[in-house]
Structure 1
């Protein structure tokens, strides 16, 4: 196969010279050339830029111009071409200038033959190819060095001066502006590492190519854990070291966290098992020490097997089917089933299964948590008893009383039944002063005395906390009041505890059907109302349901009826209290606060009418009105250019539990053209407790809209932390009950500090409400609270006053 001809362009203003050169090359042995000719520098420049030829023979003199100028111009443009300069007579200075301009050779026209010209052309072509390859290689290596995501730098082995560094290294050490070049490599090392570095360098073991971990420091003094790999390098004739410096700080932290997690898993008393969901038959890949202890199987006999070997040959048919169903649906599942230990004995296993998803959302593994509950599960009857009875007192729970009332309503219509609602007075003080152990002892003793006094005449149940309900079927009001008095006296006897005794009293309310209460379903509520009156009258007494109680209830009903009218007749309005960012005192939002100015009742505060609205089911309508007005006002402020802040609206349980609440919010935002991020919805724990799944669904929908979610009164309930794991929350609000005693009460300080830490750990901002003193604001700023709200910063104001407040009010906070 013949090679293509070498393409030759002769740039010479004398065509005869071109013909001579062409004929010479045709006489060369093995000649294989293709020729072109141009006479002017302009034509030559066009051809050179196109680059269609392999070699360019350029006359030194092109009329009034120099061929060297043409060569230099092309070189300055970064074009790589094979040049040979031709001249009519030899001149050493011209030879030197030609080579400096970038020519491969310099030939005198009258002193060349075909062989020399052929050899010079082939040398020029080969040299240009070599230079191009070398330049490409250098460019690729430079590109690899500069663009490498791994921080790389080169430093002089003697002076330690950094000779070059890529962008990744400059970013890692915070030197993007000044750069690392010229700095001493020693400045990157933590002071404690410098002696170790010098020892390794002088011993000749540093540049061994082995990876070692070093402590470095960035420009701002931040400590970095760096994996360093060093190689010797000849850099422009100098002995240097190429350093690969990978920041592994996060990896080391993650490794430490993994070690801690593994230690926690191995230390727990619950068995942990992990199975590969993608492998055939879902084999076990990991078990912890507790699993070995519970089942008796060592890891060597378990890894690689399916978990079914623990189930034995019989039993658990329903549980097995349910587990298989959960696995097929790739969902969490919890059950109790009997399993078989290695020695053949049975144990009750409370099993929790959960899928683990990979980055693509596919289930890669299943994790199982098992607890040996054999000692707590003697029989199914015992479980049923535990479900309907209070563990600490042994009393029935209220659902047992509820079932008794329903049975009485069905089968004993018109026959008397009386409820006693009893509450231990100031029980919280006993817990706080003497501890929960004493409180539990008192609670158990009170329960025993009440059960002994009632006997077979009725049923005693623990309602909630320190409250009890006594159901007395077949007993009328007078006899029931006598029973209540006996109970009160029995409870009032001293309770013996270690080192002394405790005196307790009870307040009781009595309501009887059908004597005073026509509807048996109202018994509990009215007995509770009478107990509340006993509390108000001084505690330690028995109150029976009376007409006065009825009047109080009617008063609440009247308040509810007027509230309906207030919504229609414009008696309601909103006031707005500012929320300020702690760091720069910038207003970030206003909380909308509902007010009722009744023509007959005067100013009615929310503490009075909100419970009535909740009891009458008015909160969805009332909350909808507040939401609509707040969105309209926020849009008006936005149009007026008053600032980039949100409006916070309180949401009731009745609103969040409705399936269409997110749609109502979306409609309000659309109706007023309000961006979603300018609305914040504040939820309390009580709003979530009624139906957590329904609340979670609503919150997820609201988050999808882009609305801010705040957890109000955080820390006042018993399950706030458990809900934080489930719900998408943007902000926590420290309840004012924890703020009011700051900064003097250590417990309040600890609680506030903990709430801030929890919020920040969960990527939430934290605001404190009820800030009334500069000392409170100072402390909250010191513990990192993001925002503040309270009378110190601004009282609630009407919407019309906000613009003036923003323009003139100066909020004074400690610097």
Structure 2
């Protein structure tokens, strides 16, 4: 029969020598590279846990000379960290088993019913469960860190009540409320009063269409009373056993002001171009007309001085128009720099 060759250190806390010998035989039958540590009392087991750092699993008798029952389990857990615990007992009390399992132990085995296969499976399942929980907790920590330390404000709210459930540090810094204040607020409390109808319409639309990441551009009110423009990205996630909404908000107030400035300037430029093209055309047309007349007049004609004077007048008028256009354009550049 092939034995499991993974190296394990197993602490067996059992005061009955006969029961320990049986358990030890079962373990040696299924594992080829294990170290079995035996302790008979709660006190000696705790001392072993403090001195030996590489215990992989604990097999715990439920009744010891110096402690027993639920209290024994709780005390061992206080010193065992995340080491899986498998209970070995002679009592087949279902109520007791449920209480013990609810405390987070890996399994509850009846001594009279165990054999090498049962104890082997219990140990393997307990180790696999520990690995899974460790990975799950690591994954949760990564996502929690991404939420907590995101430079952009983020929050989680309940779609049914609109109450904030959690917010990150960036949201606290940006909006000015404490975490406790946020948790006593709804998402309506960070909206300007005259935007409630728009908010409700947006929430209704998300119920009737397929939810997507991008929610839109909205106005939010800070605790200081300042109003900012934000771009919202949101999605449904599972949080503490229910479906909630995760929101990321990017402040685009400066961006929107910049775009608005550019759009205003573009309109001004179009207006300048249209207006000045008509204003410029008048003196330019006169100038071209006078030049044509000069071409037709002889050099000694009495009309030549008059025509030359008209050229000067039209030229000065044209120069003034061009100067006005340049001045207005420069004033737009200065306003842009100030913004």
**How does the TM-score come out when normalised to structure 2?**
0.68
Shift of 1:149: 1.8
Corresponding residue of 2:61: 59
Within 5 Å, give how 1:229-268 maps onto structure 2: 229-255=233-259
Shift of 1:222: 0.9
SS at match of 2:108: strand
Corresponding residue of 1:123: 125
Contact 1:71 1:102 (8 Å CA) reproduced: no
Aligned residues: 268
SS at match of 2:148: helix
162-171 vs 258-267, greater mean Cα deviation: 258-267
30-39 vs 253-262, greater mean Cα deviation: 253-262
| Cα distance change, pair 27–43 in 1 and its aligned pair in 2 (3 A) | same
Within 5 Å, give how 1:145-544 maps onto structure 2: 145-176=147-178, 178-204=180-206, 205=209, 207-210=211-214, 212-255=216-259
| Cα distance change, pair 200–147 in 1 and its aligned pair in 2 (3 A) | same
Shift of 1:224: 0.9
Of 111, 114, 120 in structure 2, the residue corresponding to residue 112 of structure 1 is 114
Shift of 1:73: 3.3
Contact 2:149 2:169 (8 Å CA) reproduced: yes
Corresponding residue of 2:34: 33
Q: Relative contact order (alpha carbons < 8 A, sep ≥ 6): 1 or 2 greater?
A: 2
| Cα distance change, pair 39–265 in 1 and its aligned pair in 2 (3 A) | farther
Contact 2:7 2:34 (8 Å CA) reproduced: yes
Shift of 1:236: 3.4
Partners of 1:267 and 1:71 lie apart in 2 by: 83
SS at match of 1:203: helix
More helix as a share of residues: 2
Shift of 1:17: 2.6
Within 5 Å, give how 1:624-703 maps onto structure 2: none
Partners of 1:78 and 1:8 lie apart in 2 by: 12
Of 14, 22, 46 in structure 1, the residue corresponding to residue 16 of structure 2 is 14
SS at match of 1:103: coil
- Extract unaligned runs of 5+ from structure 1: 269-374, 376-760, 762-815
Contact 2:41 2:66 (8 Å CA) reproduced: no
Contact 1:41 1:67 (8 Å CA) reproduced: no
Which runs of at least 4 in structure 1 moved beyond 4 Å after TM superposition?
A: 254-268
| Cα distance change, pair 194–51 in 1 and its aligned pair in 2 (3 A) | farther
Partners of 1:14 and 1:127 lie apart in 2 by: 29
| Cα distance change, pair 40–263 in 1 and its aligned pair in 2 (3 A) | farther
Partners of 1:26 and 1:77 lie apart in 2 by: 27
| Cα distance change, pair 129–248 in 1 and its aligned pair in 2 (3 A) | same
Shift of 1:225: 1.0
Contact 1:11 1:44 (8 Å CA) reproduced: yes
| Cα distance change, pair 52–15 in 1 and its aligned pair in 2 (3 A) | farther
Partners of 1:72 and 1:9 lie apart in 2 by: 17
SS at match of 1:208: coil
| Cα distance change, pair 105–265 in 1 and its aligned pair in 2 (3 A) | same
Higher CA-based Rg: 1
| Cα distance change, pair 69–178 in 1 and its aligned pair in 2 (3 A) | closer
Corresponding residue of 2:94: 92
Of 104, 124, 137 in structure 1, the residue corresponding to residue 139 of structure 2 is 137
More strand as a share of residues: 1
Partners of 1:147 and 1:77 lie apart in 2 by: 32
Partners of 2:9 and 2:120 lie apart in 1 by: 13
SS at match of 2:109: strand
Shift of 1:60: 0.9
| Cα distance change, pair 45–141 in 1 and its aligned pair in 2 (3 A) | farther
Corresponding residue of 2:303: none
SS at match of 2:223: coil
1:414-464 per-residue CA deviation (whole Å, 9 max, x = no partner) reads xxxxxxxxxxxxxxxxxxxxxxxxxxxxxxxxxxxxxxxxxxxxxxxxxxx
Superposed CA RMSD: 3.2
Contact 1:72 1:102 (8 Å CA) reproduced: no
- Extract unaligned runs of 5+ from structure 2: 273-318, 320-337
Partners of 1:208 and 1:187 lie apart in 2 by: 24
Contact 2:49 2:79 (8 Å CA) reproduced: no
Contact 1:150 1:244 (8 Å CA) reproduced: yes
| Cα distance change, pair 201–4 in 1 and its aligned pair in 2 (3 A) | same
Contact 2:153 2:249 (8 Å CA) reproduced: yes
| Cα distance change, pair 189–95 in 1 and its aligned pair in 2 (3 A) | same
Shift of 1:257: 5.9
Corresponding residue of 1:45: 46
Q: Does 1:82 align with 2:72?
A: no
Shift of 1:43: 3.2
| Cα distance change, pair 102–233 in 1 and its aligned pair in 2 (3 A) | closer
| Cα distance change, pair 66–266 in 1 and its aligned pair in 2 (3 A) | farther
